[in-house]
Structure 1
Amino acid sequence: MFRGAVRGDLPQILQIYAHAREAMAASGNPTQWGDNFPPQELLEEDIDSNRLFVYVVNGQLMGVFAFILGADPTYQVIEDGAWLNDALPYGTIHRLASSGKSKGVASAVIEWCLEHCQSLRADTHADNQIMQHLLEKNGFTRCGIIHVADGTPRIAYQKLALTQQRSESN
């Protein structure tokens, strides 16, 4: 089950992000989120803006992610490639993290997000091999390089909803 996160979820959400940072560091990606990303203030802002969601299985929080509909300023310029479709309205997944207690969290999140938009975008650090694998396994196409607010590069991905893929292939 998916639902909007509430402030009462913050202790569990912070634990999930701590687990994710440890897993990232253990897999060779210690710098993308460092020791304290995302900060609690950003998570509170996400909750208050209704863009932070949790994935709940049997009453347990298994995953957390920001899902944002509409243009993302960091995606306006893409280098070394192009978006699959730059005309469609899109949603973006940011800050996806799993508790590590259940398999298939990323796939479930992606499927849910695609039910709410025609096109889905995501980006990740070059060292985040796990996220790159998950995105590609779930049908995303590597589109190029974008730069986040602090100027660091990220690999940009896009996936079109099945209905959109069918109409573009006709």
Structure 2
Amino acid sequence: MKRIIREARLADMDAIMQVFSAAKGIMRKSGNMHQWGEGYPSEDVVKADMEKKGAFVVEEEDKVVGYFAFLPSPDPTYNRIYDGKWIDDEQAYHVVHRIASYPEVHGVFSSILDFCSSLDRNIRIDTHRDNTIMQHNLLKHGFTYCGIIYLLSGDERLAYQRV
């Protein structure tokens, strides 16, 4: 199977929303009951990613099987970190947000990180405390837990970085 990553288009919106729905199902099955509540991520969030040229889909055989945002720094929620510190707090970085895929499609996380790493070596990601699947994947792929950040909403997230 040939897998490609490309910029998302408005025409992909229905497929992206279906991927988010499947990802929420994975989260709920694994005990992550609070991350990505009703209405999030929304089409407006994806459109905002698109406007920043940071919305990407993962395709296999012309079917969207994954989505992620890859956005350049600065990210205001990463300005302050608690109970830890960033590995590199001097250089510019990119943030990966909204990673989602179908549960039956394997290796999407690795494909996303390979793509992102080809564009920037300094990558930050945050995740919900209940998202044990993401935490496992981050550590497996060489990320280091750095501390806690707070979203603009005030919600806590565990912060990771790979340099």
TM-score bucket of the superposed structures, by smaller chain: over 0.9
Structure 1, unmatched stretches of 5+, are 161-170
| Contact kept in structure 2, 1:6 and 1:47, CA below 8 Å | yes
For this pair of structures, how many residues does the alignment match?
160
Q: Which runs of 5+ in 2 are unaligned?
A: none
- Partners of 1:84 and 1:62 in 2: CA distance: 32
For 2:105 and 2:41, the matched residues in 1 are separated by: 22
Q: Does 1:52 align with 2:49?
A: no
**Is 1:102 aligned to 2:98, yes or no?**
no
Q: Does residue 33 of structure 1 match 2:36?
A: yes
Q: 1:132 aligns with which of 131, 135, 148?
A: 135
The CA distance in 1 between the partners of 2:160 and 2:114, in whole Å, is 15
Match of 1:7 among 2, 5, 10: 10
Question: Contact 1:144–1:156 (CA<8 Å) still a contact in 2?
Answer: yes
Shift of 1:59: 1.4
TM-fit CA distance, 1:34: 1.4
CA distance in 2, matches of 1:104, 1:20: 14
Residue by residue over 1:134-160, the C-alpha shift from the partner in whole angstroms, topping out at 9 and shown as x without a partner, is 111111000000000111110000001
Root-mean-square deviation (CA), in Å? 1.0
Aligned to 1:114: 117
Cα-to-partner distance string for 1:15-65 (whole Å, 9 max, x where unaligned)? 000111111111111111012210111112212321110111221212100
2-structure distance, mates of 1:110, 1:158: 12
TM (norm. structure 2) is 0.95
| Conservation of the 8 A alpha-carbon contact between 1:21 and 1:35 | no
Measured in 1, the distance between the counterparts of 2:82 and 2:122 equals: 19
Q: 1:99: how far off?
A: 1.9
Distance (whole Å) between structure 1 residues aligned to residue 88 and residue 24 of structure 2: 32
Q: CA deviation at 1:101?
A: 3.0
Q: Does 1:142 align with 2:142?
A: no
Task: Tell me, yes or no, if the aligned pair for 1:89 and 1:117 is still in contact at 8 Å.
Answer: no
> By how many angstroms is 1:14 displaced?
0.3
- Percent identity, aligned pairs only, is 39
What is the distance in 1 between the residues matched to 2:121 and 2:130? 28
SS of structure 1 residue aligned to 2:119: coil
Contact 2:55 2:67 in 1 (8 A): yes
